[in-house]
Chains A and B, each alone.
Chain A
Amino acid sequence: MTMFTRNDKSQDNPAMQPSPQSAKSDTHATVTAMTEPKRPQAYAQPLNAASSATHAPSVSLISKALKITGQLESTEDIQIEGEVDGDVRAVSVVVGSNAKVKGTVRGEQVQLSGQVDGKIEAKKVILTRTARMSGDVVHQDITIESGAFIDGHCKPEYGKTDVKAPKAAIAASNA
């Protein structure tokens, strides 16, 4: 036995080298000895969620088997493969080829391969060949692949606030 086998100690011979816990009270020693082998089993299973917490993802994935009715917001990316009945807002939204969204999709970048009934508002919009878009697209930069379906207006919008600000400034200077 090497010097640094703290974990092996109790297993090798608990009677010869009692752990400090059992040394405190002999009456409890038998109780702990009985419960100790069982205890890890009791919460060995639950622990894996705690380990998953250490790498909790910040991006969201709505898989095919999932349907959300309501509002979906994120300050990171969202990938939708399922069904969303409501508004989606995120930095980057990817709507997969079998996904369906009913509502407004907002983001810095929206990539659509599935179906959207509603509206897309994004700086950069990509409609792939499998995209089905029913509704308006408000964009600054749009890519439409051959095969994409659009029923609605495509409207470029280059920062409304930039237009308003000078007008306000003029009104202020006139007053």
Chain B
Amino acid sequence: MAAFLNLTKPQQRGRKFEPQPASQLGTASLVKGVLDSEGVVEIHGTFHGRINADCLILGAMGNIEGDIVAREVRIAGRLLGRIFALTVTLEETADVTGRIFHNAVTVARGARFEGRMPWRPANYFETLDQLPETQP
């Protein structure tokens, strides 16, 4: 499984595209493993592992431990781990510990963030075949 991030929107890709409702992991859910999606994923529960998605939304009740690779990421919940995304938004209720590799980042007033936010050019995310090893 490649971490390669397809920056073109699903509509523009060759395959047949049907708009899908966003995938949701509810507040009562606990998921461990790898999550691959071409669409929007909303996480309101607990997730441990790795997420590859086009757009990831972490709800205020959500809790993720692990790495996120996406085109767009919105965090309103708790995250322990790394984000690799072109655009990252930390909402007021966000509580993030780790690293945010981004091309553009928004941090709302009140958000808690501990760690580093290295900026990367857009092509860094296109050629992201393997996630770098970083010290936490």
* Residues of chain A at the chain B interface (Cβ within 8 Å): 42-43, 45-47, 49-50, 52-53, 56-76, 78, 82, 86
Interface residue ranges of B46-80 to A (CB < 8 Å): 49, 57, 59-61, 74, 76
What's the Cα separation between A144 and B37 when bound, in Å? 32
Q: Known interface pairs A49-B74, A66-B23, A74-B26. Does A56 touch B34 (Cβ–Cβ under 8 Å)? A: no
Q: Known interface pairs A52-B59, A60-B24, A61-B21. Does A68 touch B34 (Cβ–Cβ under 8 Å)? A: yes
Q: How far is the CB of B135 from chain A (nearest CB, A)?
A: 25
Q: How far is the CB of B70 from chain A (nearest CB, A)?
A: 13
| CB < 8 Å neighbour of A60 from B21, B25, B59, B92 | B25
- A53 and B36 contact, CB distance less than 8 A: no
Q: Sorted from nearest, which 4 A-B pairs have the closest CB atoms?
A: A70-B33, A53-B60, A65-B39, A76-B28
Q: Known interface pairs A46-B91, A68-B31. Does A61 touch B23 (Cβ–Cβ under 8 Å)? A: yes
| CB < 8 Å neighbour of A58 from B26, B36, B74, B93 | B26
Query: Which residues on A sit within 8 Å (CB–CB) of B21?
Result: 61, 63
Closest Cβ neighbor of B37 among chain A residues: A66
What's the Cα separation between A43 and B111 when bound, in Å? 12
Query: Which residues on B sit within 8 Å (CB–CB) of A60?
Result: 24-26, 28-29, 45
Q: How far is the CB of B39 from chain A (nearest CB, A)?
A: 4
Query: Which residues on A sit within 8 Å (CB–CB) of B91?
Result: 46-47, 49-50
Query: Which residues on A sit within 8 Å (CB–CB) of B61?
Result: 53, 56
Interface residue ranges of B1-59 to A (CB < 8 Å): 10, 18, 20-39, 41-42, 44-45, 49, 57, 59
Q: How far is the CB of B72 from chain A (nearest CB, A)?
A: 12
In this assembly, does B97 line the interface, its C-beta being within 8 Å of a C-beta of chain A? no
- B92 and A43 contact, CB distance less than 8 A: yes
- B76 and A57 contact, CB distance less than 8 A: no
Closest Cβ neighbor of B110 among chain A residues: A43
- A75 and B28 contact, CB distance less than 8 A: yes
Closest Cβ neighbor of A88 among chain B residues: B31
